[in-house]
Amino acid sequence: KGLEKVLKPSHVKSHLRVFINCLVENPAFDSQTKENMTLKVSSFGSKCTPSDKFFKESLNCGVLEAILSFAQTKQTKDLKKTDGSKKQRLTGISKLDDANEAGGKNGYKCTLIITEGDSAKALAVSGLSVIGRDYHGVFPLRGKLLNVRDANHTTIMNNKEISELKQILGLQQGKDYTDPAALKSLRYGHLMIMTDQDYDGSHIKGLVINFLHCYWPALLQKHDFLREFVTPIVKVTKGRQSQAFFTLKEYNDWREDQGASVSGWTIKYYKGLGTSSAAEAKAYFSDLPLHELTFKWEGGEDKTCIERAFSKSMADARKEWLRQYNPDVYVDHSLSTLSYSTFVDKELIHFSNADNLR
């Protein structure tokens, strides 16, 4: 899948030869050596129509695997043209605010914050004025990241955002980052996603997870590489009391418990990251552990959940997943870690259900 643009008839021919033993009536040749027959096929006097058995045996002889292996190697070689590398100075990527230590000996300590658009980047930059820019960089996404799992080779090759992320992070196509030493070859040791706390924000997080899992699963499986920055969707205050809610379900439950006394609270709804003030951004980053969730790999169920959400081949499983949709489930943001399966089943599913109803 996805190799259609890479494979050409010549690639198949280079791995397959068909020898035919036959009798041809009155053959004509281009020389006395009789190496090349010039007689038209219509004048052969008979036809060679391969049987289904022939095709089946041809596929079972290993030639298909050889052709696919060749195509995948070529695809990886092409994608390596957009590889990143560990270097301190990176130029040519607009809107990137690089961490001072990125690409250096302390690069593995650095975190790249990718934001949902420019307004979210402005919020992150305001917040970084509190903790400094040595170990944190910021890069705004222009929209939703490409679903690389089912995209064709040419589309991935031509996707500017994918190429820029590889260069900023220092990612190399086909490299195994299981070894901690390999992780230190990156420009950044961590990636943090900062999106709105809405359905589309959840989808963006899912697409980033899908991108990494598709090409560099070890970054998700072996390291605390991926994190997310969470901000309130509703904030209530009453005198010196203050409480933040990260999902509408949590807020609605609180409001129901308060009953008539809710009228004594001042309620602020955050439509998106752009509605948080610079002062609030500084407050968020001053208490980073409260707003930071680290993704954690818990096993095969994580893999299944990611693939079910993004692979076309799992459409039936995805339909069954959505049939069991429960609007009342949500991620507990009071925890410091979050499994990928929990994210998919308790957060991303809300986007998938809404998208299915559109």
CATH of the domain at 183: 3.40.50.670
Q: Which domain holds residue 251?
A: 234-269
Q: What pLDDT, on a 0 to 100 scale, did the predictor assign at position 5? A: 52
Mean pLDDT to the nearest integer, 208-232: 95
Range in 35-39, 97-101, 174-178, 193-197 the model is least confident about = 35-39
Residue 238 and residue 100 share a domain: no
Residue 114 and residue 259 share a domain: no
Q: Is residue 187 scored above 80 in pLDDT? A: yes
The tally of CA atoms less than 13 A away on the side-chain side of residue 131 is 19
Residue 238 and residue 155 share a domain: no
Please tell me which residue, 45 or 189, carries the higher pLDDT value. Answer: 189
Split at pLDDT 50, 70, 90, the class of 227 is very high
Nearest Cα neighbor of 196 from 265, 141, 254, 252 is 141
Residue 158 and residue 119 share a domain: yes
Task: Evaluate whether residue 22 is within a structural domain.
Answer: no
H/E segment holding residue 337:
strand 337-339
Task: Evaluate whether residue 82 is within a structural domain.
Answer: no
Split at pLDDT 50, 70, 90, the class of 67 is low
Are 63 and 15 within 8 A, CB to CB? yes
* Distance of alpha carbon 173 from the chain centroid: 14
Residue 163 and residue 257 share a domain: no
Residue 287 and residue 191 share a domain: yes
Residue 312 and residue 248 share a domain: no
Task: Evaluate whether residue 116 is within a structural domain.
Answer: yes
Mean pLDDT to the nearest integer, 83-101: 90
- 269, 288, 315: which is the final residue of a domain? 269
Q: At what angle do helices 349-357 and 199-215 cross, to 10 degrees?
A: 110
Give the CA dihedral 263, 266, 272, 275, nearest 10 degrees: 150
- 269, 295, 325: which is the final residue of a domain? 269
Residue 281 and residue 263 share a domain: no
Residue 255 and residue 185 share a domain: no
Q: What pLDDT, on a 0 to 100 scale, did the predictor assign at position 74? A: 65
Tens of pLDDT, residues 199-219: 999 999 999 999 999 999 999
Range in 26-30, 138-142, 146-150, 228-232 the model is least confident about = 26-30
Residue 107 and residue 255 share a domain: no
Mean pLDDT to the nearest integer, 253-282: 91
Are 100 and 201 within 8 A, CB to CB? no
* Distance of alpha carbon 295 from the chain centroid: 14
- 3-state class of 201 per DSSP? helix
Sheet holding 292-296, edge to edge: 136-141, 111-116, 190-194, 226-229, 292-296, 337-339
Split at pLDDT 50, 70, 90, the class of 7 is low
Q: What is the rounded CA–CA span in Å between residue 261 and residue 54?
A: 79
Task: Evaluate whether residue 47 is within a structural domain.
Answer: no
Residue 262 and residue 127 share a domain: no
- 220, 243, 269: which is the final residue of a domain? 269
Nearest Cα neighbor of 194 from 179, 183, 204, 181 is 204
Mean pLDDT to the nearest integer, 77-97: 84
Task: Evaluate whether residue 49 is within a structural domain.
Answer: no
Q: Is residue 337 scored above 60 in pLDDT? A: yes
Q: Is residue 28 scored above 60 in pLDDT? A: yes
Q: Is residue 97 scored above 90 in pLDDT? A: yes
- 3-state class of 191 per DSSP? strand
Residue 222, token pair as written in the block: 């072996």
Neighbour count for residue 326 (Cβ, 10 Å):
11
H-assigned helices in the chain: 9-13, 52-59, 63-79, 118-131, 153-157, 160-169, 180-183, 199-215, 218-221, 248-258, 278-286, 288-291, 300-310, 315-323, 340-343, 349-357
Task: Evaluate whether residue 12 is within a structural domain.
Answer: no
Q: Is residue 108 scored above 90 in pLDDT? A: yes
Mean pLDDT to the nearest integer, 159-169: 96
DSSP state of 144: P
Q: What are phi and psi of 160, to 5 degrees?
A: -65, -40
Q: What is the rounded CA–CA span in Å between residue 190 and residue 208?
A: 13
Q: How many domains does the chain have?
A: 2
Please tell me which residue, 197 or 99, carries the higher pLDDT value. Answer: 99
Range in 7-11, 152-156, 342-346 the model is least confident about = 7-11
Split at pLDDT 50, 70, 90, the class of 313 is very high
Contacts for 140 with CB less than 8 Å, ≥ 6 apart:
95, 114, 115, 116, 117, 118, 120, 121
Q: Is residue 191 scored above 90 in pLDDT? A: yes
Task: Evaluate whether residue 38 is within a structural domain.
Answer: no
Nearest Cα neighbor of 305 from 294, 320, 292, 293 is 320
* Distance of alpha carbon 188 from the chain centroid: 17
End-to-end CA distance of the chain: 28
Q: What pLDDT, on a 0 to 100 scale, did the predictor assign at position 3? A: 54
Residue 246 and residue 126 share a domain: no
Task: Evaluate whether residue 85 is within a structural domain.
Answer: no
